[in-house]
């Protein structure tokens, strides 16, 4: 999964005027306090990412198309050796049809499968642009996947995108036999906002009782609308790639109301769901400099307190998206290996 996303992020950074230099040199600690604590293997690229982050357009409706165009420009080509098919399936009652991508399906057998939701802060990104990453996972684990082209905010709030993703999950479960999938070995997975969607999907599946979810793989998931709005983070957190300002706009677009209020729309914010009991086992991975670090640690703690087995990996000195950056590093490779190990365990893959 990492290599496909690394390729398209490298292209985007090059287009923004940043060269990606080789890793591995010993570097002096950067003078800028925003770079304090960055992992030595990630420091060289962090130096280049900081001005990129600071010069991003102010998040808002006026710059939304620019944000989406940048995300589209980062799309990598799908892998040629892992089959996929674009399909259109019925949406929930009262909702439009949903586009999905069916990846690495076979006509027979009973392999595990993943329902994948892409990242993009709830406002950008696409399933089509994320194909290479999930294809790599399917190839490595010999599993199938369905990736959902859910509707983006602010045109559609959480009410629509949750239903889009649930329609994809239900379709995967109902068609498991024809896809060569074991209906009892389905995981939900996503990064960033996609991780938030995956967490919401696990909650919806538990509450509706129609589809058993075996595992949830949440990669630096976006879980709490209060982060960066009514809950300020320590100054060393959230300075690279995804900031508090971006988070506020993403959540306001998703919820349809300002984020961080005393109460949030029911079922829209994973961190606000009071009862986490009965959810599937989880993997949560995040870096210490990621804006989502504190909320992700807290969610893992609450899952374990509710009797839900949750593996938590917190990577020292890592920032948002560090595992897909376009240069080799042991810390990213180890993190990606941990995700795959967790999926193998959660899906019962030998």
The catalytic residue positions are 192, 290, 320
Measured CA to CA, the distance from residue 176 to residue 183 in angstroms comes to: 6
**Paired tokens of 95:** 């909702």
Q: Under DSSP, is residue 233 helix (H, G, I), strand (E, B) or coil?
A: coil
**Paired tokens of 37:** 């604590």
In the sheet that holds 111-117, the strands lie side by side as 84-89, 98-103, 144-148, 111-117, 181-191, 215-219, 282-287, 310-315
Between the CA of residue 115 and those of 49, 186, 228, 270, what are the distances in Å?
A: 31, 7, 29, 18
DSSP secondary structure string for all residues of 69-115: HHHHHTPPPPPTTS-EEEEEE--STTS--EEEEEES--SSS-EEEEE
**Which sign, positive or negative, has the C-alpha torsion 11, 143, 201, 155?**
positive
What is the separation, in whole angstroms, between the first and last Cα of the chain?
19
Backbone angles phi, psi at 286, to 5 degrees: -160, 160
Q: Under DSSP, is residue 275 helix (H, G, I), strand (E, B) or coil?
A: coil
How many CA atoms lie less than 13 Å away from 107 in the CB half-sphere? 0
Q: Under DSSP, is residue 295 helix (H, G, I), strand (E, B) or coil?
A: helix
Measured CA to CA, the distance from residue 291 to residue 282 in angstroms comes to: 20
Measured CA to CA, the distance from residue 343 to residue 239 in angstroms comes to: 30
């Amino acid at each position: 999964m990492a290599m496909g996303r690394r390729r398209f992020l490298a292209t985007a950074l090059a287009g923004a005027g940043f060269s990606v230099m080789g890793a591995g040199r010993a570097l002096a600690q950067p003078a800028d306090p925003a770079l304090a604590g960055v992992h030595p293997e990630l420091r060289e690229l962090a130096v280049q990412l900081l001005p990129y982050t600071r010069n991003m357009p102010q998040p808002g409706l006026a710059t939304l198309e620019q944000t989406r165009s940048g995300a589209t420009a980062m799309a990598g080509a799908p892998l040629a050796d892992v089959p996929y098919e674009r399909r259109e399936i019925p949406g929930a009652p009262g909702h439009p049809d949903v586009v999905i991508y069916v990846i690495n399906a076979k006509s027979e057998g009973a392999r595990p499968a993943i329902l994948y939701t892409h990242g993009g802060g709830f406002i950008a990104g696409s399933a089509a642009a994320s194909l290479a990453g999930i294809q790599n996972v399917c190839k490595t684990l010999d599993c199938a996947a369905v990736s959902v082209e859910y509707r983006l905010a602010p045109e559609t709030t959480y009410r629509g995108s949750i239903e889009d993703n649930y329609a994809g999950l239900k379709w995967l479960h109902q068609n498991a036999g024809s896809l060569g999938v074991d209906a009892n070995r389905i995981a939900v997975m996503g990064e960033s906002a996609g991780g938030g969607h995956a967490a919401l999907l696990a909650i919806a599946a538990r509450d509706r009782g129609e589809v058993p979810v075996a595992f949830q793989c949440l990669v630096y998931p976006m879980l709490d609308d209060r982060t960066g709005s009514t809950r300020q983070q320590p100054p060393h957190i959230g300075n690279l790639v995804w900031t508090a300002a971006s988070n506020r706009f993403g959540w306001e677009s998703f919820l349809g109301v300002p984020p961080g209020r005393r109460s949030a729309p029911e079922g829209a914010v994973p961190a606000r769901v009071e009862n986490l009991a009965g959810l599937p086992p989880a993997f949560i991975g995040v870096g210490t400099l990621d804006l989502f670090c504190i909320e992700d640690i807290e969610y893992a703690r609450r899952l374990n307190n509710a009797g839900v087995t949750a593996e938590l990996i917190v990577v020292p000195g890592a920032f948002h998206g560090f595992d897909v950056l376009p240069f080799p590093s042991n810390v990213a490779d180890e993190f990606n290996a941990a995700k795959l190990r967790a999926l193998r365990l959660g899906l019962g893959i030998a």
